[in-house]
Chains A and B, each alone.
Chain A
Amino acid sequence: MRSLLYLCTALSVIALAAWAYRENHLTQQAMNERRSLEREIAALEEAISIQRAEWAYLNRPDRLRDLVDVNFAELKLVPMTGAHFGEIGQIVYPLPVPRAVITDAVDVYEAGVAVPVSLSLGQEEPL
């Protein structure tokens, strides 16, 4: 009886050691992954900051003004003045959308066409 207990203890120690070894490996793996993710995040953040800087650089007022001048023939953009303010009354009131009118309807029921139960009026779709 006692020897069985010893055997069990020894086996459980071996099992626990194996488990701890595996956990250790998994932890190291996770840490490596974390490091590479951090590197990736840092690289992406750097890329974002460069994109932001470039966006700001491309949208600098001097450049936009030059672009407006170059493309005047096409865009016809002028500096904003007081004359560009509109009155609320200048906006066209949205016209009523005409309703669809059915002019030449066909009586399906009378013609004896089989209508699926789910489509027939007044009935719930069978579940």
Chain B
Amino acid sequence: MIRTPLRPLARILAARATGENPDHIEQENRRLRQEAARDRARSRAEGRLLVLALVFMSAFVILGARMGLLAATTPVELARGVSENISSARADIVDRHGRVLATNLATHALYAETRRMVDPQHAARALARIFPDIDGARMEARFTDPNRRFIWIRTRLSPEQVQAVHDIGEPGLLFGPREMRLYPNGRMAAHVLGGASFGQQGVRAAEVIGVAGAELFFEERLRDPEQIDKPLQLSLDLTVQATVTEVLEGGKQMLNARGATAVLMDIYSGEVISLVSLPDFDPNNRPPPPTEGEPADSPLFNRAVQGYYELGSVMKAFAVAQGLEEGTVTPETMIDTRGPLTFGRFRIRDFRNYGPQLSVKDVMVKSSNIGTARIMQPIGAERQQEFLRKFGFLDTMPLELAEAARARPLLPARWSDLSVMTISYGHGLSTSPLALAAGYATLVNGGYRVTPTLLKTEALQPGPQIISARTSAQKRLMLHQVVQEGTASFARIPGYPVGGKTGSADKPNPRGGGYKKDAVLATFASVFPSHEPRYVLVVTLDEPVDTTGPEPRRTAGWTAVPVSAEITRRVAPLLGLRPVSLEKVNERLAQGH
């Protein structure tokens, strides 16, 4: 910038020439200079003020926003059991009436910090006294090992044990809070619940993870922080489950069975009301998986879901249903039952000779293998497969259990004409009791496919219709007649009419080749009340023997049927079913037909 001199010579000289006072020029210039300086200072001050205003403004905006945010946030409670980024929270599991099946319980884990220990010898001895399975000498060696600073001693302590450890007075023994999974009902519904154990462990918390059953299947749902407060509601009914377990346990013992299973299901919604598999276990203390012997003999094995067996004559209901559905037979059609039926070098026999011919209804009632095979013969392999596939017998029957997906039915390698006949009476195709229950539900509920579920369902969503309502009504009547006139006479319960079909299948030889002698899988699939069915009950006993008679009896009619009948007699009132007279039932069935 060129600085204007206060007294520019040219103007001074000019002023002097005109006789003006040159000081005026100086004053004028001084004034201009001052004005320029003032303007500069002013604009600088304005700029500073603006910056300052912006700073204050933003400070107030931030404060205001923070206050608004604080005012708008919903109050949160201190999350329990969350620390070190390990969440031990897990939602409860309850039955259909809200009774607790599995819950979390606060407990303590015990650990030792050896550097803080005052008297390791005494502590080890005292611990050995409190916990009989702790070896005092070994514990002492671990406490005094200079390479160890941190030792887990116990993952779960009872309150009494906590107090006892406290009383040792050792500052190096410390407790870490733990959430423990508790199944208050013990062995009840063990196979459904599965069990839980600890995952990732920290000092302040440990993950609780499901290891089997519904606990594993619903792992994400149970640990979802959004739904921790909402218990998972299953379709099981604890009272019914307890009753079924009690009766089945008694039946299993009386009949000397190796195992037993029962599935009780709502025929419309597919809700599993009760699912029992014996032998069972305590999910609070889940036994380790078996390392030897047959896996099916392990208490961990869920016979109802994983046990795919040839179930025998119970499958005749489906062959007859297909005959009726395809229109090749009516319940009154006479079928040639002269035996044995020879096919190649294979002979099909009946349990007893039922004479030269039987009506389709009597084939069911008397359970004739030859009759069922003859009904199925003209239908053929392709249509049989298609029919059974619609019922879900050729695939894994889904259920909300971790084990369900692992089991698969055994299908014949080549679906020959012989397979058609053997499968018609339940040999050559393995089925689980659960799949059988779903199949029977479809047979009697008007023909709609049922998908079993362990979750309580509010709205009913019927599946696709597989068989016609007419066939379904005919099946209802036939199943009723099997009980009233046929092989399942022990299931005649006063007040509670039952319809069902027995099945006594020889067990295949585990070493391969043929069937075991005197080893029978006895099954009774029943629906009740038979005039307007609501529930389906499948009871299967593994190698039962009734020894009350002069010679041992193994057929389902003498083993599975009485057990199933007792279950129905006890459970039907619990399900809110009123007893009805047989006359009324017959009247209703005749109408439906």
Query: CB within 8 Å of B: which residues of A?
Result: 35, 38-39, 41-42, 45-46, 49-50, 52-53, 55-57, 59-62, 65, 79-85
Contacts and interface: CB of A to CB of B under 8 A. Distances in A.
Contacts of B570: 79-81
Interface string B97-127: 0011001111000000000000000000000
B186 A62 contact: yes
Nearest to A84: B573
Nearest to A80: B573
Pick from B100, B188, B243, B495 the residue with the most CB of A within 10 Å. Answer: B100
Interface of B: 77-78, 80, 99-100, 103-106, 182, 184-186, 188, 238-239, 241-243, 246, 494-496, 569-570, 572-574, 577-579
Contacts of B573: 80-82, 84-85
A59 B97 CA distance: 14
B242 A61 contact: yes
Contacts, number: 74
A49 B103 contact: yes
Contact of A60 (B105, B185, B494, B572): B185
Contacts of A52: 100, 103
A56 B185 contact: yes
B105 A50 contact: yes
Contacts of A81: 569-570, 573
A57 B184 contact: yes
A103 to B, nearest CB: 50
Contacts of A38: 77-78
A15 to B, nearest CB: 19
Contact of A53 (B80, B182, B495, B572): B182
A127 B11 CA distance: 107
A39 B80 CA distance: 9
Contacts of A80: 570, 573-574
10 contacts: A35-B78, A50-B105, A60-B188, A61-B185, A61-B188, A62-B186, A62-B242, A65-B242, A81-B569, A82-B569
B571 to A, nearest CB: 10
A80 B577 CA distance: 12
Contacts of A45: 80
A85 B579 contact: yes
Nearest to B573: A80
Nearest to B246: A65
A77 B242 CA distance: 16
Given A38-B77, A42-B80, A49 B106 contact: yes
Contacts of B238: 61
A82 B572 contact: yes
B186 A42 contact: no
Contacts of B496: 82
A82 B239 contact: no
A79 B572 CA distance: 12
B357 to A, nearest CB: 39
User: When A and B form their complex, which 6 residue pairs have the shortest distance between CB atoms, in order from nearest?
Assistant: A61-B242, A82-B579, A38-B78, A56-B184, A56-B100, A57-B184
A110 B403 CA distance: 92
B91 to A, nearest CB: 12
Contacts of A55: 100
A30 B26 CA distance: 71
A36 to B, nearest CB: 10
A50 B106 contact: yes
Given A82-B579, A85-B573, A49 B104 contact: yes
B105 A53 contact: yes
Given A56-B103, A61-B239, A85-B578, A42 B78 contact: yes
Given A56-B185, A82-B573, 16 more contacts: A35-B78, A41-B77, A45-B80, A53-B100, A53-B184, A56-B184, A59-B99, A59-B184, A60-B185, A60-B186, A61-B238, A65-B246, A80-B570, A82-B569, A84-B573, A85-B579
